[in-house]
């Protein structure tokens, strides 16, 4: 059967993006950003804590390193759960020792089921990012707008009841429907980390006005480098440092930059992986011109640019 002729019709073929979520701009059109105290690179380390319900369906799609095996998938469930019991505390200790300002993106269901963990996170002064209900609640157009609004409301309510006060959002699996951004703005959230399309913050527009995109390079995440691509922790650490040096050089010539690093407690928190990551972060922290910052502080700094 041949394709309908509409396949050769391109409704959004024109200047800018093919949607209304944000505006197109070239690198050189962006406003020059400066960080506090003359810093060049803002280092943002985000630890991700996830809860994968054992009965997670494989539709509408499976997230990477999720419950891929037949029910009951103890293999993957416990591998991921390791992060919330052991791996995260190992990472927290490492990050605290280095004096790194940290954020934690956390499924609301996990905060509810593990009061010890969320209280520990709050006590350490970390910034909590809402990470949806759990890894079984993926945001897609298969969910009605009403239901999705309710998911977001419940996620925030559960985190707040546990004592956190999230102002930012990361969807489970960076999944979004066509309504997600609007609903996040409507819920009063200030930033979202689902769009891995920039090295700097930028504003969402239209119904999502008020919401800011923070850079979230998932290619430099442990899920991709080590979990899916099977690179060693030493190779992962090399890439962190290489990325830092490249951004630092650019910031010297052009505009300040953000180095965002995502660590999943169940992956980076494995004993043999911690040391290379620690060494890379330590080298960055010792470098002059580095500002260790939580995402809220980065957003604040962007908003207060002259």
Partner 1 sequence: MKRSEPGLYDYLPLTSRPAIRWPNGAHVAFWVAPNIEFYELHPPPNMSKNAWVRPNPDVLNYSWRDYGNRAGVWRMIDAMKELGVRGSVSLNVAVCDHHPEIIRRCVELDWELFSHGIYNTRFVLNMSIEQEQIFIRDVIDTIYQASGQKVDGWLSPSVSNNPWTMDLLAENGVTYTCDLFHDDQPMPVRTETGRLCSIPYSLEMNDVIAYTRAMKTPREYGRMIKAQFDQLYAEGEESGMVMCVPLHPYLIGQPHRLEPLLEALDYIKSHDKVWLTTGREIAHWYRDHYYDDAVAHAKILRTSHAPAG
Site residues for partner 1 per CB under 8 A: 1-3, 5-8, 10, 12-19, 24-28, 60-61, 140-142, 171, 173-178, 180, 194-199, 217-220, 228-231, 235, 238-240, 242-243, 245-247, 250
What phi, psi does 264 have (nearest 5°)?
A: -95, 130
Residues whose CB is less than 8 angstroms from the CB of residue 225 and which lie 6 or more positions away in sequence, other chains included: 219, 231, 235, 236, 239
What phi, psi does 113 have (nearest 5°)?
A: -85, -15
Query: Which strand (E) or helix (H) includes residue 123?
Result: helix 115-123
Least distance from C-beta 146 to partner 1, angstroms? Answer: 19
For partner 1, give the closer residue by CB, 114 or 171: 171
Least distance from C-beta 228 to partner 1, angstroms? Answer: 8
For partner 1, give the closer residue by CB, 136 or 164: 136
The closest alpha carbon to 149, from 136, 161, 137, belongs to 137
Least distance from C-beta 202 to partner 1, angstroms? Answer: 8
For partner 1, give the closer residue by CB, 90 or 257: 257
* DSSP secondary structure letters along 229-252: T---HHHHHHHHHHHHHHHHHHHH
**CA 159-137-49 angle, 5° bins:** 50
For partner 1, give the closer residue by CB, 62 or 113: 62
For partner 1, give the closer residue by CB, 167 or 231: 231
Least distance from C-beta 201 to partner 1, angstroms? Answer: 12
């Amino acid at each position: 059967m041949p394709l309908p002729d509409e396949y050769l019709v391109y409704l959004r073929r024109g200047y800018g993006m093919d949607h209304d979520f944000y505006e197109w701009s070239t690198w050189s059109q962006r406003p020059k950003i400066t960080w506090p105290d003359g810093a060049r690179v803002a280092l943002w380390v985000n630890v991700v804590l996830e809860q994968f319900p054992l009965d997670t369906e494989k539709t509408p799609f499976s997230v990477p390193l999720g419950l891929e095996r037949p029910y009951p998938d103890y293999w993957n469930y416990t591998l991921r759960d390791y992060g919330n019991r052991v791996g995260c505390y190992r990472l927290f200790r490492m990050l605290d020792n280095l004096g790194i300002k940290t954020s934690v993106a956390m499924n609301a269901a996990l905060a509810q089921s593990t009061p010890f963990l969320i209280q520990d996170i709050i006590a350490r002064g970390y910034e909590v990012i809402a990470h949806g209900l759990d890894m079984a609640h993926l945001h897609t157009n298969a969910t009605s707008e009403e239901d999705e609004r309710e998911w977001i409301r419940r996620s925030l309510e559960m985190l707040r009841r546990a004592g956190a006060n999230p102002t930012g959002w990361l969807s489970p699996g960076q999944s979004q429907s066509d309504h997600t951004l609007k609903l996040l703005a409507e819920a009063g959230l200030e930033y979202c980390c689902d769009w891995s399309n920039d090295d700097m913050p930028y504003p969402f527009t239209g119904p999502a006005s008020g919401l800011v995109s923070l850079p979230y390079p998932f290619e430099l995440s442990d899920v991709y480098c080590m979990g899916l691509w099977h690179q060693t922790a030493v190779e992962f650490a090399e890439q962190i440092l290489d990325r830092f040096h490249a951004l630092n050089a650019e910031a010297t010539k052009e505009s300040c930059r953000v180095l965002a690093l995502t660590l999943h407690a169940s992956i980076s928190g494995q004993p043999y992986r911690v040391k290379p990551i620690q060494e890379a972060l330590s080298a960055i922290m010792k470098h002059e011109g580095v500002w260790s910052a939580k995402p809220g502080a980065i957003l604040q700094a962007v908003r207060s640019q002259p």
